[in-house]
Structure 1
Amino acid sequence: MSAILPATDTPFPDGQLVMVEPVSFTGTGAEYFRIWITNTFLSIITLGIYSAWAKVRRTRYFYGNTRLAGASFDYHGEPKAILKGRAVALLLLVAYQLFSEMPGLLAGALALLLIAALPWLIWRSLQFKLYNTSYRSIRFGFGGSVSGAYVAYLLWPAIASLTAFLLAPMAHQRIKRFQHSESRYGASRFCFDARVGRFYMLYLKAFLVFMAGVIVLGLLLFGLQVALGKRGMALEAYGGTLVFMAVLYAWVMLMYPVFNAMLQNLVWNHTAIGPHRFESRVAPGRVAFITLTNLLAIVCTLGLYMPFAKMRLMKYQLESVALLVDGSLDDFVADAQARAGATGEGVADLLDFDLSL
């Protein structure tokens, strides 16, 4: 069990008691290092062909070590489907590279064609990933339509870009709503109720945190420049400016995991399935600390710490999530299993292609 979210009874906002079932992750850096080093070596000597098998092996390890309510997840994806998708992606990139050397109009037309195909590719990848994921022998699924994918992944981003990205939080909310509300476990659909206003608040908070860091760094640089200027140390002042730029770059890079931590809390705290809700308590500051120390360790070990870094961050993020069970989870799983047969019938033949996005 996770030390962050112990299994216990806790009330919903209306006072009803529920059982908290935390997610736990039992994988270790040492175990994953062996998988990572083998996958890397075989992918290199096979010129990337083994990467599809590497992904299946890696994903099965992650899923098998992710546990909820005493059971782990399973991954059923086939390497050939992933390899097929990657071959198509490679062909598209080669075609674009060839056409990019031709007249600009033709290259632009091909770029638009690739952009137009992207929502369909994402839609297929969502179907593949969820259908090939199971929990307690019941598969997940994705029921969203291809038209819904085009609205979420093409129309809304286009609208956001035309408004100087003022509608970017709204577009983001529409994408997450499509992803979560169209997902299902067996025949039970997930529910996503985060409103647009919460995404605007998320973006505003992230912007304020970013600007606060920039202001603090700017004040420190100004104080350093003044102190060095009074001592006539112009060269040292120039070096201080370079250090400031490096630290500022690091701060910008740190904002990505910080934003993702805030986004994880927002999305999963507004996701439910049946009567059960999810809860996420990721601390953005903790994520920033883990990311920074991971980066330093990777640099000091010339990259060998990468699998340990991945496991360290993943373990914290997963174990910050819990399922708030309203009633009996066993009854819900049994009901989902009873209704799942017809839903998954015939889907396996359709999902033989994955772009592995």
Structure 2
Amino acid sequence: MGGFMYDANPAISAPSAGAAQPVRLVFSGTASEYFSIWIVNLILSSLTFGIYSAWAKVRNNRYFYGSTSLDGASFEYHAKPMQILKGRLIAFALIAIYAIVGNLVPPAGLALGLLWLFLAPLVINLGLRFNARMSSYRNVHFDFEGSYGKAFLVVILLPIVTLLTAGILAPLAHREMSRYLANGYRFGTKRFSAELPLGGFYMIYFQALGLFLIPAIVPLFLWAVGGPLDFSEIGALIPLFLYAAILLLALFVRAKARNLVFNSAQLEGGHRFASSLSPWRYAWISASNLFLMVVSLGFLLPWARVRMARYIADNTMVIPASDLSGFVSQLAANQQSFGSEMADLADVEIAL
């Protein structure tokens, strides 16, 4: 979707009898290639006051999809810039209406804000479906099917409950969101599925909490036993250390949760997946990328994106239950029966 209590990856260590060999994703992009795309996108987006950003997104996605391959075949991205631009114009119009109404008639603005809140799950579902349908592998398109009720639960209700419980239900909210996504995607006519253990998510969060508390407990213990600790001297640095710790632990949780989801997921037909991200390596790459982008005024962003894409691909595998090429070819033939251009059903991407 490395390590925690389920780190011994059964998907790799014990493939089922008769299964094909695991296939690793390969990312072949380079920073120099992507820089030439990125700098043109940046200049044209600036000159057109952001209008070209729709074309920039398509160029970016086509480069990264095309540079990512599985079993010798690359992924493809099919969205057209005008589809994305129309969606962004709709989103901009909705935001403008909300801002104007909110300033002129505050009660009406509040009502409109509540309306947007209830529309958010619908918009998110449409965005997920659009991006899935615009993605393909060997001429087989992905898809996403999600209900409004489940989306409202994971996008609105559970985050609110998590806040009200001071984060105690954060692992539950994370698990439900991951399960909603993992079970909603489809590849051709085959569904993805994942049985995600709630205990696994709580273990990840408990580990992160422990890693957060240990550095704080040690100086407090030294101060309690009378050790030399002048809070007046380090007080100004505490917020900085706090923000850095939260960022690193969020990355830690993200990497471990991805491993848990991928190692639990399968595609209908018995095809499984494996993710072996090291949470500390992932956090280091993310944090160092951020630092280098800041000191380079953003010009190292292409290098940072390529670096992360390569690391994720190197640690992502598919464990086929049978011959992967034959499986995909059969799906492609089945898809042709109802039109391989089903992606055109999703006209625009609305991103709020």
Instruction: Write the deviation string for residues 89-135 of structure 1: whole angstroms up to 9, x where unpaired.
Output: 11122222223324543222111111111111111111111111010
SS where residue 47 of structure 1 aligns?
coil
Q: 1:252, CA displacement in angstroms?
A: 2.0
Q: 1:338 aligns with which of 333, 337, 343?
A: 333
d(CA) in 2 for partners of 1:246 and 1:155? 31
Moved more, 54-63 or 12-21: 12-21
Is 1:276–2:300 an aligned residue pair? no
SS where residue 27 of structure 1 aligns?
coil
d(CA) in 1 for partners of 2:220 and 2:69? 45
Q: 1:321 aligns with which of 316, 319, 336?
A: 316
d(CA) in 2 for partners of 1:221 and 1:167? 33
d(CA) in 1 for partners of 2:238 and 2:160? 36
d(CA) in 1 for partners of 2:251 and 2:170? 18
Partner residue of 1:206? 208
Instruction: Write the deviation string for residues 160-208 of structure 1: whole angstroms up to 9, x where unpaired.
Output: 4554543332232222222121211110111111122222222222222
Is 1:130–2:120 an aligned residue pair? no
d(CA) in 2 for partners of 1:166 and 1:351? 38
> Is the Cα–Cα contact under 8 Å of residues 144 and 186 in structure 2 kept in the other structure?
yes
User: How many residues were matched structurally?
Assistant: 340
Distance 1:133 1:348, change over 3 A: closer
> Is the Cα–Cα contact under 8 Å of residues 11 and 18 in structure 1 kept in the other structure?
no
Q: 1:266, CA displacement in angstroms?
A: 1.2
Matched to 2:87, the amino acid is G
Q: Percent identity?
A: 36
Is 1:35–2:31 an aligned residue pair? no
Q: 2:255 aligns with which of 254, 261, 286?
A: 261
> Is the Cα–Cα contact under 8 Å of residues 213 and 251 in structure 1 kept in the other structure?
no
Partner residue of 1:250? 244
Q: 1:85, CA displacement in angstroms?
A: 1.1
d(CA) in 2 for partners of 1:48 and 1:256? 30
Partner residue of 1:232? none
SS where residue 21 of structure 2 aligns?
strand
Partner residue of 1:354? 349
Moved more, 338-347 or 177-186: 338-347
Runs of 5+ consecutive residues of structure 1 not aligned to the other structure:
1-8, 230-236
Q: 1:299, CA displacement in angstroms?
A: 2.9
> Is the Cα–Cα contact under 8 Å of residues 41 and 52 in structure 2 kept in the other structure?
yes
Partner residue of 2:299? 304
Q: 1:306, CA displacement in angstroms?
A: 1.6
Distance 1:204 1:93, change over 3 A: same
SS where residue 190 of structure 1 aligns?
strand
Runs of 5+ consecutive residues of structure 2 not aligned to the other structure:
1-10
Structure with the greater relative contact order (CA < 8 A, sep ≥ 6): 1 or 2?
2
Distance 1:298 1:151, change over 3 A: closer
d(CA) in 1 for partners of 2:130 and 2:165? 33
Q: 1:75, CA displacement in angstroms?
A: 0.2
Partner residue of 1:3? none
d(CA) in 2 for partners of 1:246 and 1:164? 22
d(CA) in 2 for partners of 1:245 and 1:166? 23
Q: TM-score, normalised by structure 2?
A: 0.86
SS where residue 140 of structure 1 aligns?
strand
Distance 1:62 1:215, change over 3 A: farther
Matched to 1:306, the amino acid is L
Distance 1:147 1:137, change over 3 A: same
The CA RMSD over aligned residues, in Å, is 2.8
SS where residue 303 of structure 1 aligns?
coil
> Is the Cα–Cα contact under 8 Å of residues 221 and 240 in structure 1 kept in the other structure?
no
Distance 1:341 1:251, change over 3 A: same
d(CA) in 2 for partners of 1:298 and 1:108? 38
